[in-house]
Every structure is written in structure tokens, then in C-alpha cells.
Amino acid sequence: MIEALHLVKRFRDRKRGTVCAVNDVSFSCRPGEIYGLLGANGAGKTTTLRMLATILAPSEGTATVAGFDVVKDAQKVRSQVGFLSTATALYGRLSAQEMVEYFGRLYGLDESTLHRRIDEIFARLEMNDFRDRRCDKLSTGMKQKVSIARTLVHDPSVMIFDEPTLGLDVMAARTIAGFIRECRDNGKTVVFSTHVMSEVEKLCDHIGIIHGGKLLAEGTLLELRARFGIHDLEDLFVKVVES
């Protein structure tokens, strides 16, 4: 379960002064549900998700993730979260297995559990052919699988995806989409940010439209269509943002 409560994030910028990247954002997402944060570049999606993953601390407000407060129990939150974004790269000089092992150990898994989990995940994601190959020698698709394995190794109850398909080809993007669906089907709480309308339509149970750091509208796709009287999600998004 994720519950964001009036999250605010301000940054100090030398040229622009204080910038409010996220302004009073509140939403919730239940287990077995995908919440899509839809917004243009610079809308505040990444900052919101980074606060939920405790990579950034909120300036105001808070959030509970898997029952833990992101401000007071940041470390416990991180142990319950799997975070994947295009910015979460791999250590190129480690092999696929070493990469996943490293994170498994940091998540506190004992060696027998860690290797059992790695064997399971590598078999499921068909990674055994390149498990000993260095990450910088892998194809984009293989790298994505290693990233997925890294987020899954500790079997987190909450998954946070920040524009995970950005810059990927169709096949790699489909792998990610399938993985997000699988997470929901396994009862995990999933928050997902994107600016690709088709991904939102295909994957999300709940949608939040974010712009200028503010959450302007939220609901299921059907609810939003009914509220604004627009069927096409792109038109709907533009109307919400412009209003």
C-alpha cells in the first residue's frame, strides 16, 4: 500500500531561486493495483516517485509505503520497495549475477535465500545464458532483465517504476509492460510514471494527471472520461493541463 500525503518538494536553484517541483501531492495505491502518474517532462513525476522511494526527502508532507513512513523509516521503506527507472543503470564491470547478488546482500538476504531467489528469477526471466557476462557487454533487452532481477531479488511488496520504457525499443518496452502486469497480478502495489498515453490505457487501474508539480485530476480511466466528457486520453490530458 502507498499513501502519499500532501507531498511537497522544493529545490534551491541558483538562477531561479526556490523551485517547487512537487506541490501538495496526495494519492493512494492499494496492493494488486497499478497507479499511473501521467505528466509531461518536468511535471514532477520523477521527484514524486523519488520521494516515495526515499531517494529524496520531502520538504513537507509525508507518505507511507508498505506501512512505513518515508521520513521516519526510510530504510525500512527501501527494504520493501523495488525501484526501476531509466536512470537506474547497472554496474558495467559486474556480471549479471554479481549485480543481483550485490543488491540481494544489501537487502539483507542470507546466502542460501539469495541464491535460491537468483536461480528462480534468472530461470523465469531466461537470464541463465548471460548470468556470468559483464553488464557492459549485454544488449539493452538483457540489461533490462538484469534491472528487473535487481528490483525483484528481495521480493518487494511495492514496485515503483519511473518512466521505465523511456528510450527502449518495442520488444524491450513490451518486456517491461509484461513485468509490470505480472507484479500487479502477484498482489504487489505498483506506481508507474509515464508520458506515453497508450501505456497508461493498457496498464493503469488508477490515473493521476500531474502538471507543474500539482496533481490536477485522478481516478480510473472510465471515471476521468466521464468527468471530462472526452474519450481520447491525449485530448483529456491536454484539457486537464490547460484548464
Partner 1 sequence: MSLRNIGIVYRKELIDSLRDRRTLISMIVVPLLIMPLLTIGMGVLSIALVGVARKEVPQVMILGGEDSPHVVADLKLLKDLQIVPAKPDFADEISNKQIRAAVEIPRGFEANLAAGESSTVNIYMYEGELKSGFGADRLQRFFRELRDRSIREHLQARHLPDSLAHPFDILEKNVAPPEKVGGAILGGVVPYFLILLCLTGAMYPAMDLTAGEKERGTIETILCSPVSRTHLVLGKFLMVLTASIATATLAITSMAISFGAGKKMLLGATHGAAEAAMQITITGKAMASIFFVVLPLAVFFSAALLALSLFAKSFKEAQSYISPLMIVVFMPAVAALLPGVELNSALALIPVLNTSLVSKEIITGTYHWNLIALIFLSSSAYAGIAIAIAVKLFQREDVLFRS
**CA-to-CA dists, residue 118 to 102, 149, 161, 168, 179, angstroms:** 11, 8, 21, 25, 16
Q: How far is the CB of 55 from partner 1 (least distance, A)?
A: 5
Q: Does 88 bind partner 1 (CB under 8 A)?
A: yes
Q: Any contact of residue 226 with partner 1 (CB under 8 A)?
A: no
**How many CA atoms, within 13 angstroms, populate the side-chain half-sphere of residue 225?**
9
> How many other β-carbons are positioned within 10 Å of the β-carbon of residue 234?
11
| 179 binds partner 1 per the rule CB under 8 A | no
Q: Is 83 in the site for partner 1 (CB under 8 A)?
A: yes
Q: Quick one: residue 70, left, alpha or beta (phi over 0 = left, psi -120 to 50 = alpha)? A: alpha
Q: Is 217 in the site for partner 1 (CB under 8 A)?
A: no
Asked if 56 is part of the footprint of partner 1 (rule: CB under 8 A), the reply reads: yes
- SS3 state at 204: coil
Separation of alpha carbons 81 and 67, rounded Å: 12
Q: How far is the CB of 49 from partner 1 (least distance, A)?
A: 10
How far apart, in whole angstroms, are the C-alpha atoms of residue 43 and residue 46?
8
Q: Which one among 19, 57, 123, 238 touches partner 1, defined by CB under 8 A?
A: 57
Q: Least distance in Å: CB of 222 to partner 1? A: 33
Residues of this chain that bind partner 1 (CB under 8 A): 11-12, 50, 53-57, 75-76, 78-79, 81, 83, 85, 87-94, 98, 102-103, 105-108, 134, 150
